[in-house]
């Protein structure tokens, strides 16, 4: 009898976690503004696939993308979204930022920013939040 009641309880819990039901743990996307304060760029080491077994490069190194690290301040109308360290976070991405405000969306640890282009249009760029505090960029 106990096994049936346990199975019924587990079935009930499984029904509550189905994709169509709202989840208490899901965080909504939040509209934000971001201002970069200081940044650093790094070239990651060459990919190991470009090397042969003897350690000699075969056909040259694979292209590596530059990675940018920034200490930024994140502003949002939703105070809970930026409560940690007054929105002073460290992020990384593939595009260099200047010291002015960017509009974007915060979704968990992803920060999608609208980057203005010279032609007046914008381009979306995604950054990862490394830490919800400023970091010493020289450590990267």
Written as tens digits, the pLDDT of the chain (140 aa) is: 445 566 666 665 555 555 554 444 556 789 999 999 999 999 877 665 555 455 555 555 555 589 999 999 999 988 788 877 789 999 999 999 998 899 999 999 999 999 999 999 999 999 999 999 999 988 88
For residues 74 and 113, is the Cβ–Cβ distance under 8 A? Answer: no
For residues 111 and 34, is the Cβ–Cβ distance under 8 A? Answer: yes
What CA–CA distance (Å, rounded) separates 101 from 119?
A: 18
For residues 120 and 46, is the Cβ–Cβ distance under 8 A? Answer: no
pLDDT value of residue 36: 95
CA atoms within 13 A on the CB side of 107: 8
Here the tokens at position 50 are 């470009």
pLDDT value of residue 138: 86
Name the residue among 123, 122, 90, 137 with its Cα closest to residue 109.
90
Here the tokens at position 68 are 């940018």
pLDDT value of residue 133: 93
pLDDT value of residue 21: 45
């Amino acid at each position: 009898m106990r096994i049936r009641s346990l199975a019924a309880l587990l079935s009930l819990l499984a029904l509550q976690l189905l994709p169509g039901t709202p989840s208490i743990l899901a965080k909504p996307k939040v509209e934000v503004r971001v201002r970069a304060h200081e940044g650093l760029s790094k070239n990651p080491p060459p990919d190991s696939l470009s090397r042969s077994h003897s350690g000699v490069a075969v056909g040259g190194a694979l292209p590596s993308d530059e990675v940018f690290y920034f200490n930024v301040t994140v502003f949002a109308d939703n105070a809970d979204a930026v409560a940690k360290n007054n929105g002073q976070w460290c992020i990384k991405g593939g595009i260099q930022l200047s010291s002015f405000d960017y509009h974007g969306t915060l979704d968990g640890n992803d920060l999608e920013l609208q980057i203005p282009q010279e032609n007046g249009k914008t381009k979306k760029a995604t950054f990862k939040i490394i830490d919800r505090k400023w970091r010493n960029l020289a450590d990267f």
